[in-house]
Amino acid sequence: MLDVIAPLVISNTTKIVLVSLDGLGGLPRPETGRSELETARLPNLSALAAEAACGLIRHVAPGITPGSGPGHLGLFGYDPLHYQVGRGVLEALGIEFDLRAGDIAARGNFCTVDRAGRITDRRAGRIATEVNVRLTERLRRIRLPGVEVFVETGKDYRFVLVLRARGRRGAGGLSARLSESDPQMLGKPPLPVKALDPRAKATATLVNRFIAEAGRVLADAAPANMVLLRGFDQLPKLPRFPEVFGLRSAAIAAYPMYRGLARLVGMDILKTGTTFADELATLREHWDTHDFFFVHYKDTDMAGENGDFDAKVSALERLDDALPEIRALKPDVLIISGDHATPSVLSGHGWQPVPVIVWSRYCGADGVTAFTERACSTGSLGVMPAQHLMPLVMANALRLTKFGA
Amino acid sequence: MLDVIAPLVISNTTKIVLVSLDGLGGLPRPETGRSELETARLPNLSALAAEAACGLIRHVAPGITPGSGPGHLGLFGYDPLHYQVGRGVLEALGIEFDLRAGDIAARGNFCTVDRAGRITDRRAGRIATEVNVRLTERLRRIRLPGVEVFVETGKDYRFVLVLRARGRRGAGGLSARLSESDPQMLGKPPLPVKALDPRAKATATLVNRFIAEAGRVLADAAPANMVLLRGFDQLPKLPRFPEVFGLRSAAIAAYPMYRGLARLVGMDILKTGTTFADELATLREHWDTHDFFFVHYKDTDMAGENGDFDAKVSALERLDDALPEIRALKPDVLIISGDHATPSVLSGHGWQPVPVIVWSRYCGADGVTAFTERACSTGSLGVMPAQHLMPLVMANALRLTKFGA
C-alpha cells in the first residue's frame, strides 16, 4: 500500500493529530455487561464521535493479539505482517538505546545455573534492578574482537545486549540470524547459539564467547550467575514515514518504547515530560513546526494490564477531560484510536479490534454517537486493517491526489 | 496465515465446538421479504447471538459461490484459493473411498454414444443407481498394467474411478495433470485424455486404455454404453489441522462427504449415526478426549437445494431446539456458522456471505440480538474471510500468544 500512496501525496498546510490510547479497547465486565469505554463518562469523545466517521481497527489479523511493535507500525501505515520488529530491537528501543543500522540487539535475562551448568531459574529469582545494575557493570567489561559490546540494564532480571561492528568488518558485517540460548525450560544448560545462515557464523562465535565470559564474570553472583539471550535482531529497514507521507512528523510520548517506535519510522521525537499534560504542552509548543503529531497516552494500557477495570475507566475519563485542549488547536484531522486492546478482564493485550474516530471537515459523520467498541462496530469505517488508516487520514487532510487518470 | 498462526499457538484445556449448518445463509422470500433465518423461530440462537460477537463469513471472495470443499476448508482455516480440492478427490471423499497419497481420482459419468461413437446423452438417460451398480461390476474387470483400478458406484449415472500404482513405479508415479474426456456437448465423441505435463504421459495412456476398454465392456449396455471422465486429481497436501492449531480435533458428521473433508485435514473422524441427535450423542460421549469438535448439520442445505423454503425454516428450528444440548456441555468457545449459503429461492449454493456467531467469555457481545443475515451484517466481526475464523476462535480459546514483542 505504501508504494501506492507515496506517489499520490501532494502538499498542503493541513495539521493532523493522531492520539493513540495505548490498550484502548476492552471487554464488558461480567457484573454489568459494560466495557470500560461503556462505563466511563466521556462527553467530549462522544461529541467528537457524533461529528466523525467511526469504526474498528484491526492491527494484524483477526484473532491475532498485537505486541506494541506491530500495534504501532499498523497505526503508522505499515503492514505489521510485512515489517516485523524483533524482540531485541524492541527492548533496545524500550530503554532508549541509540541502536544503529547493523547493530545486533538481543534481549537478555540473568538466570541461575547449578554446578553442572543446568538452569534452575530462568529469571534469577527476579533480582532487584539495583543488583542488575551492578552485574551489568561486570558484563560491560567483556571484550570481543572487532565489535563494541553494550550491556544495558532493564527492569528486574532483564538486560539488553548490543554488538556493534568496529569499522567495516567485511561487506556483510554482523548478522542476527541466530538461534536463542534460552532453552525455555529448567534442568538444561543454556543452548549454544547457532548461525541460522552461513553469514551469521562469525556473529554466533562472538555471542557464544560473550556467554562463556558472562558465566565466568558472574560465577560468584548466584542467583544471577548466568545469562540467557534471545530475540536477536537488527533495526528493520522501514520506509521513512515523513517521506512516504510528505509530512513533517513528530512523536510526543512520555514512555521511551513509543518514542523508539516512532524513531524507527523516522519521526522527529519531541522532548516532553512524564505526564500527558506535559505531552499536550509539547504539542502546543510545536504546533507550527510539524504537520503530523503522534501523541501517545499510556494510562489506559497500564490499568488494563493490571486488570484494574476502574482505573482504566478513570484513565479514559482523564483523556476525555483533556480532549478540548487538543481540539482548541483546531487540527484539520483528529484521530483517536489505539495500538491494541488491553481488556481489564484479560489483564493483558487482547486480539479485539480497537475503536477509531476519524474527524475532519470531510469525514462524513456516520451517526455513531458514542466512542465504544459496540457503537464503533456499526460505524462507516467498518472493521479496517490498521495500515489503511493513514491513507484515509491523508485523504481527509486533502493531501492525496487521485489515483489513475 | 497458517504460517503466522502456528508459531503463536500455546496449550490450554479449553474446549471448542464449531457447528456448521450446511447451506446456512438464505435470501428473502419475495412474498414476505423475510429470509429463512428471519422467518424461523430461533429463541436459542437469538439468545446466543445476544451474548456473542456476530458477523458474516465469506468463504472464497465476493460473488464466488463455494462448493462444499472450499466452504469447509475455509471454515477449517485454510485459504480455499490456495488449497484446492479437485472434483475427483471430492467425489471419492463423498463415497468414503479410502483415497491414498498418489492415487488418481476422477469423476465418471455413464453416457450414451451412437454407432459412430458420438455422444447423444451425457448422463445415459439418468440410469438408476441399481443399473449403475451392475455396470460398475463390469468396469471393475478392466485390467491396466502396473496399477490397481477401482471403480465405485455413485448416485444415478455417476461413478468414481481411482488408479493406484502397484509398488513404486519410478520416482514420479502417476500424475493427475490430465485433460478431461468430456467434451461437455452432444454430437462429438469423447475426447482423448491428454497429458498436460510430460510426467503425466504414462497416466494418460492408462486412462485412454481404460476408456477404450469401457467402451467394449459396455457395448451392449445402452443407454449407458460409454463413460466420460473429468476432474482428475490427487489428494492435496494440506497442513494438518491438529498440528497447526495444537488441537485434538474431531469431526462428527452423518454424511460421508463432510467426514472426508475433515479427514483431509487430519481430524479424527468419530463414528456416529445418521441423525443430528446421533451426532450430539457422539459429541457428549467424546467430550473428554478432544479439544475441538466440528459438528456438521446437513438438513439446512438439503432443504435449500430442494428450493423448499418452509423445510429450511423447519430445519433451522430443529437445530435451534438442539442448541441447549450443546451449550449444556459448557464449551469455552462455541461457533455457529456454515460452509456456504443455500438460498431456497436459488435451489442451490449461493455466493452470499454466511452469518456467524462466535461465543466465548471474551468474545465481546456486540449487541446483535438475532441470528439473521441482516442482523449479523451489523455485528462486530464485519464481513470476514472464512479462513480468519479459526485464528479468532483460537484467540477466544486463549490458545494464542501475542504477535511481535
| CA angle, residues B176, B178, B181, in degrees to nearest 5 | 130
A241 phi and psi angles, rounded to 5 deg: -50, -50
3-state secondary structure A86-155: CHHHHHHHHCCCCCCCCCEEEEEEEEEECCCCCEEECCHHHCCHHHHHHHHHHHHCCCECCEEEEEEECC
Q: Provide the pLDDT for residue A171.
A: 45
Q: Provide the pLDDT for residue A172.
A: 56
Q: Which residues of B217-233 are buried (b: 16+ CB within 10 A; e: fewer)?
A: bbeebebbbbbbbbbbb
Residues 197-236 of A with CB under 8 A from B: 231
Beta carbons within 10 angstroms of residue A212's beta carbon: 11
pLDDT tens track for B374-388: 999 999 999 999 999
Query: Hey, are the CB atoms on A68 and B405 less than 8 Å from each other?
Result: yes
What average pLDDT does the segment A390-402 reach?
97
Residue B364, Ramachandran bin (φ over 0: left; ψ between -120 and 50: alpha; else beta): left
Residue A151 CA to residue A229 CA, distance in Å, equals 12
The alpha-carbon gap from B363 to the nearest alpha carbon of chain A, in Å, equals 8
Residue B87 banded pLDDT, cuts 50, 70, 90: confident
pLDDT tens track for A108-133: 999 999 999 999 999 999 999 999 99
Secondary structure (3-state) at B361: coil
The alpha-carbon gap from A82 to the nearest alpha carbon of chain B, in Å, equals 11
The alpha-carbon gap from B237 to the nearest alpha carbon of chain A, in Å, equals 25
Cell, residue A173: 558485517
Cell, residue A55: 469504526
Residue B208 banded pLDDT, cuts 50, 70, 90: very high
Chain A residues within an 8 Å CB radius of B5: 63-64
Chain B residues within an 8 Å CB radius of A61: 1, 4, 388, 391
How many A×B Cβ pairs under 8 Å?
A: 99
Cell, residue A47: 461529541
Query: Hey, are the CB atoms on A70 and B403 less than 8 Å from each other?
Result: yes
pLDDT of residue A57 exceeding 60, the answer is yes
Q: Which residue has the cell 510485512?
A: A82
Residue B130: how many CA atoms within 13 Å on its side-chain side? 0
Query: Hey, are the CB atoms on B380 and A382 less than 8 Å from each other?
Result: no
Chain A residues within an 8 Å CB radius of B365: 28, 33
Q: What letter would DSSP give residue B60?
A: S
Q: Give which of B48, B22, B42, B59 is closest to B357, Cα–Cα.
A: B48
pLDDT of residue A97 exceeding 70, the answer is yes
Scanning B224-379, the segments in alpha helix (DSSP H) are: 241-245, 256-264, 276-285, 299-305, 309-327, 373-376
Mean pLDDT (chain A, rounded): 95
Residues 1-40 of B with CB under 8 A from A: 1, 4-5, 8
Cell, residue B48: 446466543
Chain B residues within an 8 Å CB radius of A350: 362
Cell, residue B323: 442448541
Residue A92 CA to residue A105 CA, distance in Å, equals 7
Cell, residue B88: 475427483
Residue B196 CA to residue B178 CA, distance in Å, equals 5
What average pLDDT does the segment A73-87 reach?
94
Cell, residue B107: 469423476
B158 phi and psi angles, rounded to 5 deg: -95, 145
3-state DSSP: chain B helix, strand, coil percent, rounded to 5? Answer: 35, 20, 45
pLDDT of residue B189 exceeding 70, the answer is yes
A68 touches chain B (CB under 8 A): yes
Query: Hey, are the CB atoms on B404 and A378 less than 8 Å from each other?
Result: no
What average pLDDT does the segment B4-12 reach?
95
Contact B367/B41 with Cβ under 8 angstroms?
Answer: no
**pTM score, two decimals?**
0.89
pLDDT tens track for A211-246: 999 999 999 999 999 999 999 999 998 999 999 999
Chain B residues within an 8 Å CB radius of A353: 380
Q: Provide the pLDDT for residue B171.
A: 44
Chain A residues within an 8 Å CB radius of B2: none
B381 touches chain A (CB under 8 A): yes
The per-residue DSSP string of A258-292 comes to HHHHHHHTTPEEPP--SSHHHHHHHHHHTTTT-SE
pLDDT tens track for A234-288: 999 899 999 999 999 999 999 988 999 999 999 999 999 999 999 999 999 999 9
pLDDT tens track for A19-41: 999 999 999 999 999 999 999 99
Q: What is the largest CA-CA distance in chain A?
A: 73
Residue A215 CA to residue A226 CA, distance in Å, equals 5
pLDDT of residue A173 exceeding 90, the answer is no
Q: Provide the pLDDT for residue A169.
A: 55
Query: Hey, are the CB atoms on A62 and B381 less than 8 Å from each other?
Result: yes
B391 touches chain A (CB under 8 A): yes
Query: Hey, are the CB atoms on B395 and A63 less than 8 Å from each other?
Result: yes
Q: What is the largest CA-CA distance in chain B?
A: 73
Helices B43-50 and B309-327 cross at an angle (nearest 10°) of 60
What average pLDDT does the segment B156-165 reach?
95
